Amino acid sequence: MVWSQAHTNIALIKYWGKALSKQNIPATDSISLTLDSFWTRARAEASTGIDKVVVHGEELNPVEEKRVLDWLQAARSVLTLPNAIVLETWNNVPKAAGLASSASAFAAMATALARVSLGYDPRFNSKEDAIKEIARLGSGSALRSLQASFVRLRRHGSENVAIEKIDTPLEDEIRVIALLLDTKAKKIGSREGMKRVAESSAFYEAWLSEHPTDVENCQEALEKGDWHRVGALMESSTLKMHATCMAATPPFWYFQPDSIKIMNWVTEARLKQKGLSTYFTMDAGANVKIFCLARDLKETGDALQEIVPNAKIQIASKGPKPHEEKG
Ligand code: DP6
């Protein structure tokens, strides 16, 4: 059996807010790292019945199923697809763990659909562009999972986006420690969070106005191999994003006590140990992701395991673009 496998990505400079021009176009550029350890496999097959989504490992609730079936319907305006499809996915990413499972899922499903399509709408220049379009309709961050390693999502005008690989001498040196915290916190999904922020946050305009500079600075620092500058920009983009949430009506936040404990440790550890390459980021969930250079991985991982003993720790490095896997 041939699967389309796509990997998750974690944003260093965040996508948080949508343009009003067209469905699900990010309001800003963003920069991410695609990871090797977390991925989704997807497979599409023509069937005789109605569209169906089968998720191995984790059940789809009716709300999630509707999101995927509606998206599949939208994909038909981009790709020439069989009348009925069974879409099967297998995820090694803990769902809703702030590890961008929707990014790898929609990137994998878009790639799998392209494999069973008979063609694409002439609006698109290539099959790759058609895949990009349907991945975007599923999830903005899924676009970045279509590329390997460090990626910039670049807006072109208000209706188009491009996905560009950022070449950096740091590529092989970066490690990510994902800390899965033991939390039952109620989740506000990123889509809902972005909407509330755009509609009501006092800080949303400030977020949008500072963002382009953060993106340019981060790309420049990556290209020059200036990791400390990249790390500082990642933490700053993270905290600015979360500040927009706290200034929304009603306010909301993703921090839990253990998230704060970890971020405090990272900040203090850098002050104590000059040159420590450890930096944090968080997305729309309580889990914290730590980025560091390979040389500091062991020390950072050991210290964090002591600080949050109940956290499950997973390590990742740069990951590939979507590819085929047999299984
Ligand atoms: C906080 O891609 O999940 O992870 O386009 O509405 O599906 P939709 O949003 P999504 O948003 C990701 C938000 C984020 C930051 C990021 O990954 O850039």
What are the structural domains, with CATH classification, of the chain?
Answer: 2-168 (3.30.230.10), 174-316 (3.30.70.890)
Assigned token pair, 298 = 């062991």
Which protein residue has the closest C-alpha to ligand 1 atom 8? 139
C-alpha 49 – ligand 1 centre gap (Å) = 33
pLDDT, averaged in runs of 10, over the chain (327 residues): 96 95 88 96 94 79 88 96 93 64 93 96 94 95 98 89 97 96 79 96 98 98 98 98 98 96 98 98 95 98 96 95 94
Q: Give the distance (Å) from ligand 1 centre to CA of residue 306.
A: 30
CA of 138 to the centre of ligand 1 (A): 11
Structure tokens at 290: 């730590």
Please give the backbone phi and psi of residue 186, each rounded to the nearest 5 degrees, phi first. Answer: -70, 135
What pLDDT is attached to residue 58?
A: 66
Give strand ranges (E) for the chain. 2-13, 30-46, 52-56, 85-91, 150-156, 160-165, 174-180, 279-282, 288-293, 312-316, 323-326
Q: Is 102 in the pocket of ligand 1 (CB under 6 A)?
A: yes
Query: Does ligand 1 come within 6 angstroms of the Cβ of 106?
Result: no
Cα separation, 76 vs 62, in Å, equals: 21
Q: Which of 8, 13, 15 to mutate to test the pocket of ligand 1 (most atoms within 8 A of CB)?
A: 15
> Dihedral of the CA atoms 266, 267, 271, 273 (nearest 10)?
10
Q: Which atom of ligand 1 is nearest to the CA of 189?
A: 3
Give the closest residue to 8 by CA, choosing from 132, 151, 115: 151
pLDDT, residue 57, reads: 57
- pLDDT score at 95: 61
15 Cβ inside 6 Å of ligand 1: yes
Distance from the alpha carbon of residue 191 to the mean position of ligand 1, in angstroms: 7
